[in-house]
Structure 1
Amino acid sequence: MNCVFCALVEAGSARWVARGPVASAFAPLAPIAPGHTLVVPSSHFADLFDTPPEVLTETVALVRRVADTMRSALRADGVNVLNAGGPGSEQSVPHLHFHVIPRWHDDGFSTWPTGRSQHQVQGDPIARLASAVAG
């Protein structure tokens, strides 16, 4: 199987926010906002429908931790959690993943962004998230 997310998890080559045996979080290659994070099961599951409930529970718990941390560490006004399930939904990588995107009143995009955020965050937002999610 040639799954890009499985390869990242196996190689450890991503910018990690959190890594665990069941769920992991990392920065996407082309973030649409400072701190944009992908949360995935650490093992391969194609989408929500393919994922065992106990894995989905731990994955969504990590989504919540990352989202909570965005509000505190990045001072986001809100957070979008986005998921596309299956090829008919425009799912770009056939591995369950959630986009966790910090939002600010002045970020310049709508709920499903088509461009890049105009918001600036001081320092390295992924490093701040990684530190805060870790503990």
Structure 2
Amino acid sequence: MNSEECIFCNLLRGHGEAVWIARRERASALRPLEADQLAPGHALVISNDHALGIQDASPQTVEAVALLAQEIAQAMSQVVGAGGVNILNASGADSDQSVLHFHVHVVPRWHADGLDTWPSTVSTHTLDHGWTSALQHALATASRP
């Protein structure tokens, strides 16, 4: 998907209706559609540049999204009395990502609010025995920004 077809990119360009919570240089936050809200006060933090997911977003974009999510989480405790937040992200074809644009959900939480955001199942996929060493090697030899 390119940025011309992306609903978040179109909203960022002013095409369509959005309730913006914050607009920053590299990231913005908006309210999801009411039918998609997991809790009152739920916010979406999106990258201002088009990236499909965290895997292909620039380090600066990931940082901007994370910092705005933190800002919103801090404000949620003051404004809506949330005692906690869940930060949710799905990136990539096999992650159940619904909008192919890097974003995180900031979901305010209250004691015994009835929402269960922790996975209730586990993957049945298996990995070869040496996956930890291979991952460590890949990280050690990767170029860093």
TM-score, normalization by structure 2 = 0.74
- Of the three residues 34, 39, 46, the one matched with 2:45 is 39
Q: Which has the higher contact order (CA 8 A, sep 6+)?
A: 1
Distance of 1:87 and 1:61 partners within structure 2? 25
RMSD between superposed Cα atoms in Å? 1.4
Residue 112 of structure 1: how far off its partner (Å): 4.3
Residue 20 of structure 1: how far off its partner (Å): 1.9
- Of the three residues 90, 95, 98, the one matched with 2:101 is 95
Matched position secondary structure for 1:49: coil
Inter-CA distance 76–48: structure 2 relative to 1 (3 Å threshold): same
Q: Which structure has the larger Rg?
A: 2
TM-score, normalization by structure 1 = 0.79
Matched position secondary structure for 2:76: helix
**Given the alignment of the two structures, is residue 9 of structure 1 paired with residue 12 of structure 2, yes or no?**
yes
Number of residue pairs matched by the alignment: 113
Distance of 2:115 and 2:79 partners within structure 1? 21
**Given the alignment of the two structures, is residue 84 of structure 1 paired with residue 103 of structure 2, yes or no?**
no
**Given the alignment of the two structures, is residue 107 of structure 1 paired with residue 113 of structure 2, yes or no?**
yes
Q: What percentage of aligned pairs have identical amino acids?
A: 44
Deviation per CA, 1:3-52: give whole Å up to 9, x if none: 01111111163101101221000000121111000001111111001111
Extract unaligned runs of 5+ from structure 2.
120-145
Residue 77 of structure 1: how far off its partner (Å): 1.3
Correspondence list, 1:30-69, <5 A? 30-69=36-75
**Given the alignment of the two structures, is residue 25 of structure 1 paired with residue 4 of structure 2, yes or no?**
no
Extract unaligned runs of 5+ from structure 1.
114-135
